[in-house]
A and B are shown apart, each in its own frame.
Chain A
Amino acid sequence: MIAVDGLTVRVGEFALDNVSFTVPNGAYGVVIGPAGAGKTTLLESIAGLLPLRSGRVTLGGADVTRLPPERRPVGLVYQHAYLFPHLTVRENVAYGARSAEDVEEVVDRFGLALVGDRDVTSLSGGERQLVALARALARRPAVLLLDEPFAALDPRSRAAVRREVRTMYFDRGCTVLHVTHDFEEAGLVGDVAILLDKGRLVQSGDPADLFRRPATPYVASFLGAENIYAGTARPIRAVSPDWSDAAQGQYAEHPLAFDTGSLTLYALGDAVPGRAHAILRAEDVMLSREAVASSVRNQFRGRVVEIVSAGALSKVTIDVSGTSIVSAVTTRAVQELGLERGREVVASFKATSVHIC
């Protein structure tokens, strides 16, 4: 378990201010935030490498706030590996290991036996990161701190190293705190997400919850929500099946209408009526040539203004009376629907997909 309570750290002009969160025993925590949010400072504070101004750090149930780094049960892997260049691969892995068996185990596990005698400067980026991971794991830490471990890797190496990290995590059952600026990566690997910005904790919890129910438009924007609207929320009486279906689900909250520009979106939420933001993820917006007969409450006819394809997925921007709605669909669907600029389409999405904050 990693428990951070009221952590305040100052490094030069930067300050990490009153950060608190908990990653349960054996869980995979992901710290997300833009550059300069304080993610690395947070990891280094937990590792005991930076002095705290105030707050408490508990690892595996023990208060380690006053312990030096070498007495904390942590392993730390930085983005750039920081392999000791004067040592071979095997010497790096063995650096902090408590036994030769532990070294052999991780060397075998990560397939490093063949490169064991090599100079670390001759390794590829992916290999370097694997050695750094092996070096940290050879010490058998209860808590593993990963600072953007995939960021400097090419896509192929990234996939390989990510796979190893996940396998290792399941094998060892240690608690992981993984820092990333990539919200997609956070969604892929995390059990608990912690969002930092400018040294402050913005939101923490289940990653799916952060994605679906961001606390602020900033969080939504950072987590890749394409449709963010400013407007006014007002309560309404439930009138369609869409409401009643959702009312029995996990977001059983009151129906709302949200006026933005010329559109009125229908949503469910616990938002206080008044000025607010509506968040809608592009992947929740369906496109069709004609209006569909369904319980979906939000249906808007508009014209395609832009199609951006990125491999198998495409983002289609629809103009609905001056308001843009972005939909993420498969590139194949774009072809099947015959979508092109100027083509009239219907965008539809459930009230449960609209989050008011």
Chain B
Amino acid sequence: MSPTASEAAALAPLRGSSFAPAATVVSGLLASLLLLFLLAPLVGLVGAGGASGVRQLASDAELRGALALTLFTATAATFWAILGGTPLAYILARRRFTGRALVLAILDLPLVVPHPVAGIALLLVLGRASPLGSALLAAGLRLTGSPFGIVCAMLFVSAPLYVGGAREAFARVDRRYEAVARTLGDDAWRAFRRVTLPLSLRGLTAAAIVMWARAVSEFGAIVILTYNPKVASVLSYDRFTSTGLSGALPVAAVLVLLAIVPLAMLRALRRDD
């Protein structure tokens, strides 16, 4: 894949910047070991279970259902993150206000909290024992054992990734584009729609893909709220605990293959930058 312009600039070697031969060999070895460590399990997994996983898709209704539920709930969570996160990201990128640091810290929290803890926290606030949970239940939205709970868990742990990415995408658009649009007769909303949004669309799309991919792979928070119906990650865990490695392999391999799709989309977006 060809590097982006900024990557190319960073890749251009500076004269006299080479390490000593021994240091080059050692650092090269360490880097290769790390790459191998990251790659080998995934390649092994796909090699061992990829083909059977794809074949199993035709016969295993539970696997198909889990995949469909995963894709649906991840997409729904991403939709809600875009809806609420886009204005938040824009404000964070464009305005300096009291409490901005606090908002940024709040957005970081779900990323550092262990995900089962996130599930427990959601259960506490949105569960049937809480006033909010009771209200939701009365409205027909049950947090436990439902797609709604899965969406909530995915949204909680993954939305900060969208907001962070979107904030960077907006920040990369010089505010003077908007300033020019304003002097050309656009009000703030029209300038956003006609200039800022098109210029940041690629970054926003990349942020949404990252969030979606993270939501697809979520397990810890979901398993606290909703063991059934099962998303793909919970199904792979369930198969592992009930039938062992051989049973979990095809599901896990399909999940890895599924992860390649957003990864490829992201690389394609960045290559066009």
- Give the chain B neighbours of A82 by CB distance below 8 A: 174, 176-177, 179-180
- Give the chain A neighbours of B180 by CB distance below 8 A: 76, 78, 82, 84, 135
- Give the chain A neighbours of B184 by CB distance below 8 A: 70, 75, 95-96, 135-136, 139
Interface contacts (Cβ under 8 Å), in number, total: 61
Cβ contact within 8 Å between B179 and A96: no
Q: Is A156 part of the binding interface, using a Cβ–Cβ cutoff of 8 Å?
A: no
In chain B, positions 68-99 with a C-beta closer than 8 Å to chain A are 96
Chain A residue nearest to B96 (CB atoms) is A12
Q: Tell me the minimal C-beta distance from A77 to chain B in angstroms.
A: 8
Cβ contact within 8 Å between A68 and B187: yes
1/0 per residue A114-146: CB within 8 Å of B?
000000000000000000000110010100010
Given A47-B179, A49-B179, verify A70-B174 contact (CB < 8 Å).
no
Q: Tell me the minimal C-beta distance from B230 to chain A in angstroms.
A: 43
Q: Is B64 part of the binding interface, using a Cβ–Cβ cutoff of 8 Å?
A: no
Cβ contact within 8 Å between A70 and B179: no
Q: Which of A12, A48, A96, A145 contacts B185 (CB 8 A)?
A: A96
The distance in angstroms between the C-alpha atoms of A48 and B181, with both chains bound, is 12
The distance in angstroms between the C-alpha atoms of A135 and B198, with both chains bound, is 19
- Give the chain A neighbours of B194 by CB distance below 8 A: 95
Cβ contact within 8 Å between B186 and A70: yes
Q: Tell me the minimal C-beta distance from B184 to chain A in angstroms.
A: 3
Which of B96, B182, B195 has the most chain A CB atoms inside 10 A of its CB?
B182
The distance in angstroms between the C-alpha atoms of A68 and B184, with both chains bound, is 12
Chain A residue nearest to B188 (CB atoms) is A68
Q: Tell me the minimal C-beta distance from A356 to chain B in angstroms.
A: 43
Cβ contact within 8 Å between A74 and B183: yes
Chain B interfacial positions (CB closer than 8 Å to A) = 96, 174, 176-177, 179-188, 194-195, 198-199
Could you list some 23 contacts between A and B, CB below 8 A?
Answer: A12-B96, A44-B179, A47-B179, A47-B182, A47-B183, A49-B179, A68-B187, A69-B179, A70-B182, A74-B183, A75-B183, A76-B179, A76-B180, A76-B183, A78-B179, A82-B174, A82-B177, A84-B177, A84-B180, A84-B195, A85-B199, A86-B198, A135-B184
